[in-house]
Amino acid sequence: MIKFHNVSMRYPSGYEALNGVSFALSKGSFYFLTGHSGAGKTSILKLIYRAERPSGGAVLIGGRNVDQLTNKQLPLLRRSIGVIFQDYKLLYDRSVYDNVALAMEVAGQNPDHINGQVLRTLESVGLRDYTHQNPISLSGGEQQRVAIARATVNRPSLVIADEPTGNLDRDMGRRIISLFQTLHKQGTTILLVTHDTDLVKESGHPHIEMVDGEITKMPKSACLMEDS
Amino acid sequence: MNPTPDGFSTRSLGGKKAVSRKGLLSKKTGIIKRPSSVKRIKATSLEGGKDVTISKSFQLRSLQRAWNRFHAGSLSHWTTTIIIALSLTIFGAFTLLLSNANTALEQWTGDNLITVFLEESVTSFQMEEIKNKISKNPGVDQISVVSPAIAMGRMKNMLGSEAGLLDNLVENPLPYSIEFRLNDKEYEKTANLAFQIGSWLGVEAVSYDKQWAEKLAAVIHTFRFIGSVLTLLLLTAVALIISNTIKLTIIARRDEVEVMRFMGATDSFIKTPFIYEGVLQGLLGAVGALLLTTLLYWGADGATTELGSAFGIFIELHYLHYDQLLLIMALGIFLGLAGALISLSRFLEI
Ligand SMILES: Nc1ncnc2c1ncn2[C@@H]1O[C@H](COP(=O)(O)OP(=O)(O)O)[C@@H](O)[C@H]1O
Ligand SMILES: [Mg+2]
């Protein structure tokens, strides 16, 4: 599902955020990505949905090199990935419902199907009663769940989330993780960035650890085979 | 998966109880099988993601989004629309003026009367010779000799109640003249013929309606030139103003654009509402311009009719032609489109 082949990445400022990163996550797996602040976790996610491009090596998603996608293919890749941003990136000029519905409109879904699916998805994250509220009036945990609903409403095969429990108390953090567990059980591949190691241990899912733009620890299952 | 205290749903995102992975993942396609209640939703799996169907009403919904923005939008949208309206009104007024002047020119051509005044010394034989010579020219029609007596009669008619002034004349001072009409309406030809006849022996002077027509034509030419330059400058300015308004919208919507891009919006999904926004501004501006031009027309028509009646002539201005109305609408749309495209290419990197 996700393969990083010796990927390095340099920001325009010249800062080398990633250096020789290699790993492979199989379809339907659930991984955590951990590391100190500035380790390069967000940079890895950005490479996956191609907000950034590698300066060396190759990023393959679903067998395709994301760097070689045409302008027509790129939107299709992005629609297949549900991204939950660290800062949510919700739109505060519209309701919770419209935030979630936008993802379906963007994906060109049949307008007749949007209403039902948006409500079902909001229900599944426990926000059915907040449909017509502006997300600005919601708590951090609630906004996080709007972001999750928006990222999953199109039922993407891959969901990546950047510190989804970062600003939440332990209890809310657990509930958020359980939402991802549910998605995972439905077959969705999940990659969660976090620095909460307790939460990782608790969940029992494998994790990849990063230090200064390099992977320092990962389970064998995530190692990139030489021949692949 | 028991209900949590805060009422978190334990149901799966699909709306049904979570099923084991085995039952969800199809080995062959790799596409996740969904409970029937959500089967209609197009899955966006990596392998199955090649079927993008842009809904048929995509254009309509883009237009709707553009209108919503416009409607709820900032003052700058309306300011821009008013500027477009005023600029196109200037264009419309010029068109109206030139078009009417042109019509006047053409209408006067319809009575292409040429009068050849003869010298006093001319004999009736010479007169007949000149008349024959004129007749040989193509397009000459209704040629006749006007005697001093007839000319005097006409003059008295023209003066009406003041005709008594002429009674004191001892001798008729008017010369013999030859009148004819030229069917050919190009004033180049009229002017050439008049010049030629003027050089003949026995001819004192030649006058023709076209003399003023020529002057009018020159005035129209000048006005057309000034109008074209002015229009070009105005329209360029308007396109830049529109592009600036769209630029402000793009900047105001940067977050939305970024989010939509990362969610997999196509270029056209992001750009189309901005384009419609520009076109809407242009279109509304053009409609405003047509209203203003119509008001101007009514005002000018009333004024000229009054002015004309003071001189005993009937002047009626005609309104813009169908194609001129269309041109103004098209210009508005074109400007909106150009403005939107300019700012999209400069301020929206996708
Ligand atoms: N846009 C950017 N321009 C320059 N440097 C950046 C940019 N974004 C991140 N960095 C730097 O790259 C490094 C890795 O960043 P990031 O991937 O966001 O780390 P993490 O998410 O693990 O905290 C950090 O040192 C950060 O300062
Ligand atoms: Mg980060």
Residue whose entry in the numeric block shows the structure tokens 């500035």: A38
Q: CB-CB: which of A74, A75, A186 is closest to B13?
A: A186
Mapped onto helix, strand or coil, the DSSP state of residue B162 is helix
Of the three residues B152, B187, B208, the one that is the final residue of a domain is B208
Tokens standing for residue B239: 């396109």
What lies within 8 Å, CB to CB, of B149 at 6+ separation is B172
More confident residue, B167 or A116: A116
**Do B280 and B260 lie in a common domain?**
yes
Q: How confident is the model at residue B191 (pLDDT cuts 50, 70, 90)?
A: confident
- DSSP at B44: B
Phi and psi angles of residue B186, each rounded to the nearest 5 degrees, phi first: -75, 130
> Model confidence at B108, in pLDDT bands (50, 70, 90)?
low
Closest-CA distance, B333 to chain A, in angstroms, reads 27
Domain encompassing residue B313? 58-106+215-347
Could you give the CA distance from residue B95 to residue B89 in angstroms, rounded to a whole number? 9
Smallest Cα–Cα separation from B331: which of B293, B265, B285?
A: B285
Residues 6+ apart with CB under 8 A from B59: B272
Top pLDDT among A43 and B205 is at: A43
- Name the band, by pLDDT with cuts 50, 70 and 90, for residue A114: very high
Most confident of A183-187, B10-14, B309-313: A183-187
Among A135-149, B16-30, B153-167, B267-281, the range scoring the smallest mean pLDDT is: B16-30
| Beta-ladder partners of A189 | A158
Chain A nearest CA to B255, separation (Å):
8
If one compares B36 and B343, the residue with the highest pLDDT of the two is: B343
Residue list, CB under 5 A from ion ligand 2: A 42
Question: Is B6 within 8 Å of chain A by CB?
Answer: yes
- Last residue within a domain, chosen from B208, B228, B244: B208
Q: Shortest Cα distance from A227 to chain B (angstroms)?
A: 22
What is the structure's pLDDT at B74? 65
Q: Is the pLDDT of residue B58 over 50?
A: yes
The Cα–Cα gap between B250 and B285 comes to 21
Would you say residue B101 has pLDDT above 90? no
Is a pLDDT exceeding 90 seen at residue A188? yes
In DSSP terms, A84 is beta-bridged to A161
Q: Using an 8 Å Cβ cutoff, are A101 and A137 in contact?
A: no
pLDDT recorded at residue B226? 87
Residue nearest to atom 12 of ligand 1 (CA): A17
For residues B244 and B124, state if they share a domain: no
pLDDT for B234 beyond 60: yes
Residue A199 lies in a domain: yes
Average pLDDT of chain A is 93
Comparing alpha-carbon positions, the chain B residue that sits nearest to A111 is B55
Question: Is the torsion defined by CA of B14, B20, B24, B30 positive or negative?
Answer: positive
- Give Cα B23 to chain centroid, integer Å: 66
Average pLDDT for A127-136: 94
Instruction: With beta carbons less than 8 A apart as the criterion, state whether A192 and A32 touch.
Output: yes
| Same-domain status, B166 and B219 | no
**B31 lies in a domain?**
no
- Examine the pLDDT at A139 and tell me if it is beyond 70: yes
Residue of A nearest to B59 (CA): A108
Distance from CA of B269 to the nearest CA of A (A): 7
Structure tokens given for B55: 């809904």
Q: How confident is the model at residue B30 (pLDDT cuts 50, 70, 90)?
A: very low
User: Is B27 part of any domain?
Assistant: no
Q: B52–A108: do the CB atoms touch at under 8 Å? A: yes
The residue that leads in pLDDT, A168 or A208, is A208
Domain count, chain A: 1
B25:A75 CB<8 A: no
| CATH number of the structural domain spanning residue A41 | 3.40.50.300
Assess whether B222 and B87 both reside in one domain. Answer: yes
Q: Which positions in chain A touch B4 (Cβ < 8 Å)?
A: 175, 178
Residue B170: pLDDT over 80: no
Same-domain check for residues B62 and B157: no
pLDDT band, residue B221 (cuts 50/70/90): confident
Cβ atoms of A83 and B67 within 8 Å: the answer is no
What is residue B100's DSSP assignment? Answer: H
Look at B18 and A182 and tell me if their CB atoms are within 8 Å.
Answer: yes
Task: Please say if the pLDDT value at position B60 is more than 80.
Answer: no
Atom of ligand 1 at shortest range from CA of A86: 21
pTM check: above 0.80: no
Asked if residue B33 is part of any domain, the answer here is: no
Confirm whether A8 is domain-assigned: no
Ligand 2 center to A52 CA (angstroms): 14
Q: Which of A18, A42, A208 to mutate to test the pocket of ligand 1 (most atoms within 8 A of CB)?
A: A42
Ligand nearest to the CA of A40: 1
Q: Are residues B220 and B307 in the same domain?
A: yes
- Greater confidence (B334 vs B4) lies with B334
Nearest CA to ligand 1 atom 17: A40
A69 falls in which pLDDT band (50, 70, 90)?
A: very high
* Residues facing residue B178 across a β-bridge: B116, B145
Same domain for B294 and B198: no
User: Strand, coil or helix: what is A217?
Assistant: strand
For residue A172, CA distances in Å to A166, A175, A176, B86 come to 10, 5, 6, 58
Boundary-marking domain end, from B153, B185, B208:
B208
Q: Please give the sequence-ordered ranges of beta strands (E in DSSP) within chain B, or none if there are none.
A: 113-118, 140-146, 177-182, 203-208
Q: Are B216 and B131 in contact (CB under 8 A)?
A: no
The answer to whether position B148 is within a domain reads yes
Averaged pLDDT, B149-161 = 79
A179 contacts in chain B (CB < 8 Å) = 8
Asked, for residue B278, whether it belongs to a domain, the answer is yes
Structural contact between residues A186 and B32, judged by C-beta atoms closer than 8 angstroms: yes
The C-alpha torsion from B136 through B141 and B145 to B148, rounded to 10°, is: -130
CA A178 to ligand 1 center in whole angstroms: 28
Q: How many domains are contained in chain B?
A: 2
**Residues with Cβ within 6 A of ligand 1?**
A 11, 13, 15, 17, 35, 37-43
Say whether both B283 and B159 belong to one domain: no
Q: How far is B250 from chain A (nearest CA, A)?
A: 15
- Predicted local distance difference test score (pLDDT) of residue A213: 95
- Residue A110's pLDDT band (boundaries 50, 70, 90)? confident
Please give the average per-residue pLDDT across B180-201, as a whole number: 80
Q: What is the mean pLDDT of residues A206-214?
A: 95
- Residue B41 near residue A155, CB atoms below 8 Å: yes
Residue B309 has what pLDDT?
76
Closest CA to A102 of A88, A90, A112: A90
Residue B82: other Cβ atoms inside 10 A = 13
One-letter amino acid of A44: I
Same domain, B220 and B95: yes
Residue type, A191: L
* B285 within domain boundaries: yes
The total number of residues written for chain A in this structure:
228
Question: Up-side HSE of residue B111: CA atoms within 13 Å toward CB?
Answer: 4
Task: Assign B19 a pLDDT band (cuts: 50, 70, 90).
Answer: very low
The answer to whether A189 and A158 have CB atoms below 8 angstroms apart is yes
Give the residue, out of A4, A9, A10, A11, with the most ligand 1 atoms within 8 A of its beta carbon, to mutate for a pocket test. Answer: A11
Measure A144 CA to ligand 2 centroid, in angstroms: 16
On chain A, the residues whose CB falls within 8 A of the CB of B39 are none
CATH number, domain containing residue B149: 3.30.70.3040
Which one of the ligands is nearest to A162 CA?
Answer: 2
Q: What is the pLDDT of residue A137?
A: 96
pLDDT at B110: 53
Are residues B318 and B103 in contact, defined by beta-carbon separation less than 8 angstroms?
yes
pLDDT digits (tens, 9 = 90+) for B113-124: 888 899 888 888
pLDDT for res B211: 67
pLDDT category at A200 given cuts 50, 70, 90 is: very high
Computed over every residue of chain B, the mean pLDDT equals 77
- The total of other beta-carbon atoms located within 10 Å of residue A145's CB is 26
Has residue B169 been placed in a domain? Answer: yes
In this structure, are B139 and B281 located in the same domain?
Answer: no
Please indicate, yes or no, if residue A7 is contained in any of the structural domains. Answer: no
Mean local confidence (pLDDT), A128-151: 95
Domain co-membership, B89 together with B219: yes
Residue linked to tokens 């492979």: A24
Residue B51 touches partner A, C-beta closer than 8 Å: no
Q: Residue A165: which domain range? A: 28-55+70-221
- Per-residue pLDDT tens for A6-24? 999 999 999 999 999 999 9
Q: Do B269 and A175 touch (CB under 8 A)?
A: no
* Exposure string over A13-45, b if 16+ CB within 10 A, otherwise e: eeeebbbebebbbebbbbbbbbbeeebbbbbbb
What band does B216 get if pLDDT is binned at 50, 70 and 90?
A: confident
**So what's the pLDDT on residue B26?**
37
Which residue of chain B comes nearest to A1, CA vs CA?
B46
> Is B21 contained in some domain?
no
Instruction: Provide the residue type at B129 as one letter.
Output: E
B42 Cβ under 8 Å from any chain A Cβ? yes
Looking at residue A167, what is its pLDDT?
A: 79
> Which member of B6, B53, B262 has the closest CB to residue A49?
B262
In 3-state terms, what secondary structure has residue B270? helix
- The reply to whether B231 and B319 lie within a common domain is yes
